[in-house]
Structure formats: structure tokens, C-alpha cells
Amino acid sequence: MKKLARIAMLAVVAFGGLFTACSTEDPHIVCGREWNPAMQLVADTTSEFQLIDPMIVQFRYGTGFDFPTLKITFYEGTEKAKGKEIWHYETKVNEKVSVYTLQGHSKRGGLMTASELTRHHTPGQVVIEATTGDRLLAVKELTLIKNKQ
């Protein structure tokens, strides 16, 4: 009986692993202050940044990109009340990649600040969209706040 229980448990674990491996996460945008170079991931995700906080934007698709180009656009406002475009970045991608990271080096050294990366120099709302062609892939709303003293 113990042997049958072990076989049943092994089968459950194997099927669970199979289903987990087949599942994918929904496309989404992650923003954070810290970069983990070993895992190539943004850590410390948040939606609120001081203007002087370091900032990294990462688009995660879950599977290999099944489209030829990725466009990341920054807008003033919110998702429902989107204002004018601040700036955008478009790049070619391929199916070997499922994550794209947008970061830069500040003129003062270190990572770009939220103000530098979003190119929005006053407190307020910013929307980041990831698109390909006419297809919207993911949206992220950010709040930029005045620097705390």
C-alpha cells in the first residue's frame, strides 16, 4: 500500500510540474529601483517614485516574443485620461527573448532617475504602454512625487 501511495504522489507531482511549466504569465510592465544582474530582473517593484529615485522599466511577456517590434511609450496622465506623449522607444525583438529592460545611466552616475527616464520633471501621473503595431500588450501607471527631504 505504501508503494502505491508513493507512486500516486509522484504522479501528482509530475503532473503538477507539467502544468506549471506550460502556464505563462500575462504580459506586464514592472518598474523598480533595483536591478538584479544575476537574474536579469527588476526588483523592488512599485508604482510611486520620487523624482530622484533610480528607475528601471521592464516589459515581461511570459513566452518568447511572437512579434517583430516592441514599442514602449510614456504619456502624461492616467490610463483612462491619457495626455500627450512624452517620448517612446521602439526596438526589434525576436522569439528568443521574453523580457525587455529599459534603463540608462544618469548624467550624475548610477541608474537614471525617475525624472530622467520618464522625461517628466514635475510631480504627477505617467502612463507607460508596451505595444506592437496596433496591439496593446501592457499598461503601467506611475505616480511621480516631489523629493522628500
Q: Which amino acid is at 51?
A: L
In order of their start, the domains of the chain are 25-145 (2.60.40.1930)
pLDDT confidence tier of residue 14, bands split at 50, 70 and 90: very low
pLDDT tens-digit series, residues 44-94: 778 999 999 999 999 999 989 999 999 999 999 999 999 999 999 999 999
| Count of C-beta atoms within a 10 Å radius of residue 143 | 14
DSSP 3-state of 106: coil
pLDDT tens-digit series, residues 107-146: 888 999 999 999 999 999 999 999 999 999 999 999 999 9
Residue that the C-alpha cell 530622484 belongs to: 52
User: In this structure, are residues 32 and 45 in contact, taking their beta carbons and an 8 Å threshold?
Assistant: yes
Position 15 scores a pLDDT of 44
Position 1 scores a pLDDT of 53
Residue 6 has pLDDT above 80, yes or no: no
* Spatial distance between the Cα atoms of 122 and 15, rounded to a whole number of angstroms: 52
User: In this structure, are residues 48 and 142 in contact, taking their beta carbons and an 8 Å threshold?
Assistant: yes
- Distance spanning both ends of the chain, measured CA to CA: 67
User: In this structure, are residues 139 and 31 in contact, taking their beta carbons and an 8 Å threshold?
Assistant: no
Position 21 scores a pLDDT of 43
DSSP state of 143: E
Position 44 scores a pLDDT of 72
Position 132 scores a pLDDT of 96
User: In this structure, are residues 70 and 129 in contact, taking their beta carbons and an 8 Å threshold?
Assistant: no
pTM (predicted TM-score): 0.81
* Spatial distance between the Cα atoms of 141 and 9, rounded to a whole number of angstroms: 44
Rg, the chain, Cα only: 20
